[in-house]
Amino acid sequence: MIAHNLGFPRIGAGRELKFALERYWRGETDLNRLEAVGRDLRERHWRQQQAAGLDWVPVGDFSFYDQVLDHSAMFGVVPERFGWEGGQVGIDLYFRMARGRAPTGAPAAACEMTKWFDTNYHYLVPEVVKGQRFALSSHRLFDQVAEAKALGMPFKPVLIGPLTWLWLAKGKGEPFDRLTLLNGLLKVYGEVLERLAEAGAEWVQMDEPVLVQDLPTAWKQAFESAYHRFQSVPVKILLTTYFGALDENLSLAAGLPTAGLHVDLVRAPHQLPAVLDRLPPYKVLSLGMVDGRNVWRSDLDAALEKLTLAIDRMGSERVWVAPSCSLLHVPVDLEPEQDLDEELRGWLAFATQKLHEVDLLKRALEEGAEVVEDELTRSRRAIESRRHSRRIHRPEVAKRLAAVSEQMLRRHSPYAERRPLQRARLKLPRFPTTTIGSFPQTPAIRKARRDRREGAIDETTYVAFMRAEIARVVQRQEAYGLDMLVHGEPERNDMVEYFGEQLEGFAFTRFGWVQSYGSRCVKPPIIYGDVSRPAPMTVDYITYTQSLTDRPVKGMLTGPVTLLNWSYVRDDQPRSVICMQIALALRDEVLDLEAAGIKAIQIDEAALREGLPLRLSDWQRYLEWTVRAFRLASSGVRDETQIHTHMCYSEFNDIIDAIAEMDADVITIETSRSQMELLDAFVDFEYPNEIGPGVYDIHSPNIPTVEEMVRLMKLAAQRIPPDRLWVNPDCGLKTRSWNEVEPTLRNMVKAAQVLRNEF
């Protein structure tokens, strides 16, 4: 039986890659040094995986920025603006594509970045044009294969498959069908496969996660023709699918002329019987049994049962065992997390521990369960303890949730009746101006938070600092002439962590970093148990802010769906249940804010859209429970209390009904970069409540003029009645400097005045 891995986190247990990259970008080290760090990390990770007992270690999962960009570079797909004239795609060109600039070469607009399927990892979108040419333009993969070989590693090169790469690519310029490029692309893939075969690769892992999505017929047919072409190359292809079920693409995937198929049995356990029925007898079946997307220890008994079922049908030579997907999406190692208590630690497995689990499964099946009995017992105990722990299962939370009534999901009156009450109370001008919540996080603010964390200052000193900061931003906002104020969020380092730390049921790691994009890493919280709110979380700072001004101050909360989607979530309960628990906790906070006299409360749902399931048929269900959760959090207030929400994107066309169902009185969204898209969403859907289309792109250092902002608002006013429009930036201002924020907000207030005069 073969045990293997689909990919290992490349960032390094100590985020070595991040620091090496940033030093290189700052010009503090040279390329040799950077390459050496890359080589060391690869070697360390291969050795670690080999020591864990794997029969094949992946090569090609390492990347200096992003694996999709690596492929674009390998195929010579470089957008024209980078002035590339062929030859090898060098590292600085590669970094310029990723981030717009590099130690050498002229800056140009970076390639667009977007989320890799339903993960929080971002890849760089390949840009292709009509008639795009492809030419093998990078030997990095082959160099890495040579490295692995020199180290005596049993290596299995990893490629993103041609259909997935092409599916993720975006056509630029004159419109055309991307499939017209397939032929040229396959020639390069053919060359790559030939080279890998020459280098001694026996198997090549070909990742085609698009197969778990809805595919147009033409793309399904393209799969057939593509994989038939690879038959002539003397390597065995393991067609790899993950993040979901093959379902209606199963016959297609099983029937392609590849030597093996990998399926994800963690995300889609139900597909095993059908896969066993459909797989031709000559093929290898790789079963993804260990969760590559979450941090929990596996239920090894359940996994063994499935594997045994497969072996009974197929024989042990044809069944392989692996994690469900690349381990890129989990932290590297649990070992250093000594601050987590024993019990909680016992429930967890990070990448290193997951490889060990894969090996245990293999040994249990090959050598007999007795050989690994101790380990199996330990795993059983962890599962048992999770099942019964009083820290996880808190009857009072379940009881409250069971008592949630439909009435609690509805505001007392419809928007049309709430509106006059809110107007009378808030006394805002037309085109009211506001911001999204955060103001620049200055070094002094960061230092105060760090000092508090490290115990260098006491709570009283810390709170006094934060209050002074809040007082300063209130003064500034009044001076600029903003209508609805915020407290600026100086006390928050992160919109999820800040709330997670105050809620029961959340835990935090110290080193649990995962790559988000390039050198950027995030440390998602772990929701391990029933969620509740022991005490108010934001009421002190918000009421303090309101005490400083006559203008209304917005309470500022992160919404239930966003807290959920940006965390590792327990897998013993449906996500919808956990989301409702979080929503109940937030509902209490909302009501406390209201009781403290706060007239408007914003509940951010930055991550609602990105949590959409991969298959269209699952969207409706997801939107239903997410909207219910938002409504549970927000609907307890009186009619005259104004509920805001904020979302950092403008692609609403396909979910606009659900957004309207959330029934927030005001929604602020991102639009300044994509003005046309906003208009699109409102062509055949009339958004019923108030809306603030962002007029300031907070991702850019540019300061928009009054005229630009007026122009954008006028575009919006063509679709939305002017008396329902707000004027605000795209998102929070925490990453900008006051030098940019001050003139921008002054311009924004002027723009609102122009609009009030004109309409």
Q: How far is the CB of 437 from ligand GLN (least distance, A)?
A: 3
Query: Which span sits near ligand GLN by CB under 6 A: 177-185, 364-372, 432-440, 472-480?
Result: 432-440
Q: Which does 636 bind (CB under 5 to 8 A by kind): ligand GLN, Zn ion, none?
A: none
User: Closest CB to ligand GLN among 489 and 639?
Assistant: 489
Q: Are 593 and 640 in contact (CB under 8 A)?
A: no
Least distance from ligand GLN to the Cβ atom of residue 698, Å: 9
Alpha helices in 270-414 (DSSP H): 272-278, 300-314, 342-347, 351-367, 373-388, 395-402
Which of 271, 438, 516, 650 touches ligand GLN (CB under 6 A)? 438
By CB under 5 A, which span of 276-284, 404-412, 584-592, 723-731 interacts with Zn ion?
A: 723-731
Q: How far is the CB of 677 from ligand GLN (least distance, A)?
A: 18
Nearer to Zn ion, 288 or 440 (CB): 440
Q: What does residue 254 show for φ and ψ, rounded to 5 degrees? A: -70, -30
Give me the least distance between CB of 647 and Zn ion, in Å please.
Answer: 7
Nearest residue (CB) to ligand GLN, 73 versus 647? 647
Q: Report the C-alpha gap between 332 and 48 in whole angstroms.
A: 11
Binding residues for ligand GLN, rule CB under 6 A, total: 13
Q: How many residues bind Zn ion (CB under 5 A)?
A: 3
Smaller CB separation from Zn ion, 594 or 605:
605
User: To 10 degrees, what angle do helices 300-314 and 351-367 make?
Assistant: 50
| Nearest Cα residue to 332 out of 352, 358, 316, 303 | 352
Q: How far is the CB of 350 from ligand GLN (least distance, A)?
A: 26
CB of 494 to ligand GLN, least distance (A): 10
Out of 78, 495, 514, 643, the residue judged to bind ligand GLN by CB under 6 A: 495
Minimal distance in Å, beta carbon 649 to Zn ion?
8
Instruction: Determine which one of 270, 393, 646, 699 is catalytic.
Output: 699
Among 159, 182, 189, which Cα is nearest to 61's?
A: 159
Minimum CB–partner distance for residue 739 and Zn ion (Å)? 21
Name which of 256 and 731 has its Cβ closer to Zn ion.
Answer: 731
Contact with Zn ion (CB under 5 A): which of 731, 741, 749, 751? 731
Options 153-161, 509-517, 680-688, 726-734: segment touching ligand GLN (CB under 6 A): 726-734
Tokens of 43: 């070697």
Q: Return the range that interacts with ligand GLN (CB under 6 A); candidates 180-188, 308-316, 433-441, 585-593.
A: 433-441
By beta-carbon proximity to ligand GLN, the closer residue of 7 and 440 is 440
Is residue 71 within 8 Å of residue 82, measured between CB atoms? no
- Helix (H) or strand (E) holding 3, with range, is strand 2-3
Spatial CA neighbour of 329 closest among 115, 26, 604: 115
- Ramachandran category for residue 86: left, alpha or beta (phi over 0 → left; psi -120 to 50 → alpha): left
The residue number with the shortest CB distance to ligand GLN is 732
Q: Which CB atom, from 623 or from 741, has the smaller least distance to ligand GLN?
A: 741
The answer to whether 497 and 319 have CB atoms below 8 angstroms apart is no
Residue 556 touches ligand GLN, criterion: CB under 6 A? yes
77 versus 648: smaller Cβ distance to ligand GLN? 648
Nearer Cβ to Zn ion (181/648): 648
Selected from 604, 665, 690, 740, the binder of ligand GLN by CB under 6 A is 604
Query: Is residue 606 close enough to count as binding ligand GLN by CB under 6 A?
Result: yes
**8-state DSSP, 488:** B
- What is the distance, to the nearest Å, from the Cα of residue 558 to the centroid of all Cα atoms in its chain? 16
376-385: long-range contacts at Cβ-Cβ below 8 A with a sequence spacing of 24 or more? 376/300, 376/301, 379/297, 379/298, 379/299, 379/300, 379/301, 380/300, 380/301, 381/346, 382/297, 382/346, 382/347, 383/297, 383/299, 383/301, 385/343, 385/346, 385/347
Q: Between 135 and 522, name the residue whose CB sits nearer to ligand GLN.
A: 522
Residues numbered 573 to 602 that lie near Zn ion (CB under 5 A) are none
- For this structure, is 4 an active site residue? no
> Within 639-698, which residues bind Zn ion (CB under 5 A)?
648
In sequence order, the 6+-apart residues with CB closer than 8 A to the CB of 256 are 223, 224, 227, 239
CB of 693 to ligand GLN, least distance (A): 15
- According to DSSP, residue 423 is labeled H
From the list 553, 731, 749, 751, which residue makes contact with ligand GLN (rule: CB under 6 A)?
731
CB of 437 to Zn ion, least distance (A): 8
Query: Is 421 within 8 Å of 540 (Cβ atoms)?
Result: no
Q: Which stretch binds ligand GLN (CB under 6 A): 199-207, 268-276, 471-479, 729-737?
A: 729-737
Query: Structure tokens of 37?
Result: 């760090």
Rounded to whole angstroms, how far apart are CA atoms 370 and 389?
A: 28
C-alpha–C-alpha distance, residues 210 and 165, integer Å? 9
Question: Contact between 355 and Zn ion (CB under 5 A)?
Answer: no
> According to the binding rule CB under 6 A, does residue 436 interact with ligand GLN?
yes
- Which lies closer to Zn ion via its Cβ, residue 379 or residue 671? 671
Selected range binding Zn ion among 257-265, 442-450, 494-502, 724-732, rule: CB under 5 A: 724-732
Which residues are CB-contacts of 698 (< 8 A; sequence separation ≥ 6)?
A: 729, 730, 731, 732, 733, 735, 736
Q: Mutual orientation of helices 575-595 and 619-634 as an angle, nearest 10°? A: 20
Pick one of 13, 648, 655, 662: the residue that binds ligand GLN (CB under 6 A): 648
Kindly state whether residue 732 participates in binding ligand GLN, applying the rule CB under 6 A.
Answer: yes
Look at residue 525 and give the partner it binds from ligand GLN, Zn ion, none, a contact being a CB closer than 5 to 8 Å depending on partner kind: none
Q: Which stretch binds ligand GLN (CB under 6 A): 46-54, 72-80, 714-722, 727-735?
A: 727-735
Q: How far is the CB of 488 from ligand GLN (least distance, A)?
A: 9
Of the candidates 258, 242, 58, the one whose C-alpha atom is nearest the C-alpha of residue 158 is 58
Site membership for ligand GLN, residue 181 (CB under 6 A): no
Q: Residues near 717 by Cβ (< 8 Å), separated by ≥ 6?
A: 725, 755, 759
Give exposure, 128-149, as e/b (b: 16+ Cβ within 10 Å): beeebebebbbebbbebbebbe
Minimum distance, C-beta of residue 694 to Zn ion, in the bound complex (Å) = 8
Cα 596 from Cα 333, distance rounded (Å):
44
Residue 667 near residue 724, CB atoms below 8 Å: no
460-489 residues near ligand GLN, rule: CB under 6 A = 489
Residue 327 tokens read as 């381990």
CB nearer to ligand GLN: give 438 or 581: 438
Residue 589 touches ligand GLN, criterion: CB under 6 A = no
Task: List all residues 6 or more positions away from 178 whose beta carbon is below 8 Å from its beta carbon.
Answer: 128, 166, 167, 169, 171
Residue 495, binding choice from Zn ion, ligand GLN, none, Cβ under 5 to 8 Å by partner class? ligand GLN
Tell me the torsion sign for CA atoms 353, 357, 363, 364. positive
Catalytic residues: 699
Per CB under 5 A, residues contacting Zn ion are: 606, 648, 731
Interaction site with ligand GLN (CB under 6 A) = 436-438, 489, 495, 556, 604, 606, 646, 648, 731-732, 734
